Amino acid sequence: TLRMADPEQFMPVRTVVPGVSERTEAAVLKALELARSQRWQSAVEMGQTLGLPIPMWSGQQASKQATPVRSARGGTRRILEGAVPSVPSTISSVVPSAGEPAPARQRKPAWPWVLGGVALLVLVVGFMVKGIELPATGAIPPTIKAAAQATSIPHPTATPRSAMATMPIKVAILAPMSGDVAIFGESTKNGAMVAIEEWNAKGGLLGRQIEAIVEDSQCSAEPAVSAANKVISQDGVKYIIGEVCSSASIPVSEITAAKGVLQISPTSTNPQVTVDQAGNAKPTVFRACFIDPFQGTVGAQFALTELGAKTAAVLLDQGNDYVRGLAEYFREAFEAGGGQVVVWETYTAEDSDFSAILTKVKDASPDILYLPDYYSTVNLIAAQAREVGITATMLGGDGWDSSQLDRAAVDGGYHTNHYSAADPRPIVQEWVKKYTAKYGAEPDALATLAYDAANVLFQGIEKAGKDDPLAVAKAMEGMTFSVVSGEITFDAQHNPIKSAAILQVKDGQVNFVTIIAP
């Protein structure tokens, strides 16, 4: 019934009960096929597949040859090889030949109950593990107990204690492992894996190892939703680190909030990730990074006070939640501080020729060119801006943070970020040394925030003392975390209260400038 009503919630047998053999799982799943034509055509066929003996009738093995049987209508039925003779529903449904003595009443074999019990037991265990309460049905029949022992399926009442005690705690990492910002995904995966390996080395969580499941969510809504549904429904994941981009994290958060899965995004800065349309916090959704209003405001204040800017041009991808949000908060703060936005132009993710809007920027001659996009798009716009002779100081957000940023094109520009590898704090320098030794390069903000997000999650699980996302979320709400990117406490909307770093790209290097507190 569950398979038909909600296919996404139906889990394979060995996901629920790992001890079941592949042969038993295949036999049970075939018995549960939605289409009748795909199911076993007889109990004997299923029994033979499971390796059970062919049943006996009156002390004799059932014939493997087709046997003619006279029907009441005078026709002849043939029982196919290995099939179970059907039981007549009325006395008159089958009439013996004249002069032939009536057959003695035969005892019905018990083995079909065993097969049915196996399938029923698997379903019962599946419901129990998923937390769906079944009505009481009395004691478990001995035939079901025997079948469970024969197929190595643990008794249902023992599953939560014995199986769960040894099963790993599964944590999904949703990140763009392909596409334009695949480097973001690689950094995110690397940072989270360092934390997972460290925790496993010291015993894991709650005495259980952590199992990482990495899925390519491509920083895009549709593949991210597919990845989230897959890890939740098929892999049985209760905790997700990801997604990276706000445009992917927002739809994923709708799923995790509805299904009670705890999600912590390392880097999605749009406010809508953690709150619903009414502005209420999604109970199990958190982030490890500051949000766009803070980042946009910090960028505007830095431009006004430290760079002395009076005018700014803002270019943005209107279809990207992250880019649009950052641009809007920058404009609001810049104008509130006395500055003037003289150019506000949009483009699409598919655009590669920005000459038309850059001509408007050149004509306006602003002090600041604000580019709040990811490095791949910033590289294109910045290079073309230099070609047309734009001299404005470029300014951006944490999307610039990448080893693939065109540092020559944005030379002299600044961007806000979550941390700097040049920060002298011991926790930062220890992290940089550890990551560099493992991966051969300094950790960027993506790797650092993934490491922080994983540690925040794992500390929350330890504090809660149980493998329960709701309990973990409650524990995280009241904790203070000392992580690489700074001290973190969560506000009422599950956003971390933390500082931002200002970095400058100069002569091919990215230099730490200052830290700005909230």
Distance CA 116, CA 19 (A): 19
> How many C-beta atoms surround the C-beta of residue 471 within 10 A?
16
Pairing of strands 393-396, 414-417: parallel
**Nearest partner of 148 among 176, 179, 124, 175, judged by Cα:** 124
Confidence of residue 128 (pLDDT cuts 50, 70, 90): very low
Non-local CB neighbours of 477 within 8 Å, separated by 6+ positions: 490, 494
Contact 125, 156 (CB under 8 A): yes
Cα distances from 264 to residues 87, 172, 181, 279, in angstroms, run 59, 11, 20, 18
DSSP 271: G
Pairing of strands 500-506, 414-417: antiparallel
Angle of CA points 177, 230, 11, to nearest 5°: 150
Non-local CB neighbours of 391 within 8 Å, separated by 6+ positions: none
Distance CA 167, CA 216 (A): 24
- 3-state SS of 450-503 is HHHHHHHHHHHHHHHCCCCHHHHHHHHHCCEEEECCEEEEECCCCCEECCEEEE
H helices present in 60-141, as ranges:
111-129
Contact 351, 180 (CB under 8 A): no
Contact 292, 325 (CB under 8 A): yes
**Nearest partner of 129 among 2, 31, 28, judged by Cα:** 2
Backbone dihedral angles phi then psi of residue 212, each to the nearest 5 degrees: -90, 135
Work out the burial of residue 117: count CB atoms within 10 Å of its CB; fewer than 13 is exposed, 13-18 middle, 19 or more buried. buried
Confidence of residue 516 (pLDDT cuts 50, 70, 90): confident
Tell me the pLDDT tens digit for each residue of 336-371. Answer: 999 999 999 999 999 999 999 999 999 999 999 999
30-34, 56-60, 146-150, 221-225: range with lowest mean pLDDT: 146-150
**Nearest partner of 305 among 367, 237, 231, 382, judged by Cα:** 367
- pLDDT surpassing 60 at residue 422: yes
Q: Can you give the pTM of this predicted structure? A: 0.63
Burial letters 172-200, b for 16+ CB under 10 A, else e: bbbbbbeeebbbbbbbbbbbbbbbbeebb
Across residues 201-224, what is the average pLDDT? 97
**Residue 157 pLDDT:** 37
Write down how long the chain is. 518
Angle, helices 321-336 vs 292-305, to 10°: value is 40
Non-local CB neighbours of 490 within 8 Å, separated by 6+ positions: 286, 476, 477, 479, 496, 497
Non-local CB neighbours of 118 within 8 Å, separated by 6+ positions: 24, 28, 50, 144, 147, 148, 151, 153
Pairing of strands 239-242, 262-265: parallel
Q: What percent of the chain has pLDDT over 70?
A: 69
E strand segments, 183-291: 210-216, 239-242, 262-265, 285-287
Contact 404, 380 (CB under 8 A): no
Distance CA 88, CA 468 (A): 53
Backbone dihedral angles phi then psi of residue 412, each to the nearest 5 degrees: 90, -5
H helices present in 365-468, as ranges:
375-387, 426-439, 445-464
Q: What percent of the chain has pLDDT over 90?
A: 65
DSSP 77: E
13-27, 266-280, 355-369: range with lowest mean pLDDT: 13-27
Angle, helices 246-259 vs 321-336, to 10°: value is 110
> How many C-beta atoms surround the C-beta of residue 308 within 10 A?
8
Backbone dihedral angles phi then psi of residue 105, each to the nearest 5 degrees: -65, 125
Tell me the pLDDT tens digit for each residue of 240-259. Answer: 999 999 999 999 999 999 99
Tell me the pLDDT tens digit for each residue of 151-196. Answer: 333 333 333 545 556 799 999 999 999 998 999 999 999 999 999 9
